[in-house]
Amino acid sequence: MAGTESVARHFPFRIGRAASADLRLEDAGVWDEHLALWMGAELSVEAVVQPGALAGINGQNVRRAPLRNGDLIEMGAVQLRFTLTPTRQKPLWLFEAAVWIGLVCVCLAQLGLIYWLLSGV
């Protein structure tokens, strides 16, 4: 599975050997339910290692730790790179065009009102 990519579309995102795992790994040293990714405080992602399992982040053994972009997660013989991808923004050009057209109409209406008020005097 080297070089493959898995996207966590929901939390908790479970990693292990079990058939119910979101990311299933059959490598040596990986338990049935080895690690889970949770949405932590302030929308951060946290790695939570199951009791009895061993895992490391950037070479440090951890039980629970927040993840940052580029962190290396180690479980048995497996190494996973945690990355955050940029979010895709919905195209807003139609909405922006409508706002600009509305602003132009308001400005023209104000200019017309000023002209009408000044010409009536």
**pLDDT tens-digit map of 61-108:** 999 999 999 999 999 889 999 988 777 778 889 999 999 999 999 999
State if pTM tops 0.95: no
- For the residues 13-41, what does the mean pLDDT come to? 91
Contact 109, 101 (CB under 8 A): no
CATH number of 13-81: 2.60.200.20
β-pairing, 13-16 vs 23-24, is parallel
Residue 46 has pLDDT above 80, yes or no: yes
CA angle (69 as vertex; 81, 76 as ends), nearest 5: 30
Report the C-alpha gap between 3 and 45 in whole angstroms. Answer: 22
- For the residues 46-69, what does the mean pLDDT come to? 93
Report the C-alpha gap between 41 and 46 in whole angstroms. Answer: 9
The continuous run of DSSP H or E covering 48 comes out as: strand 45-49
Report the C-alpha gap between 31 and 62 in whole angstroms. Answer: 16
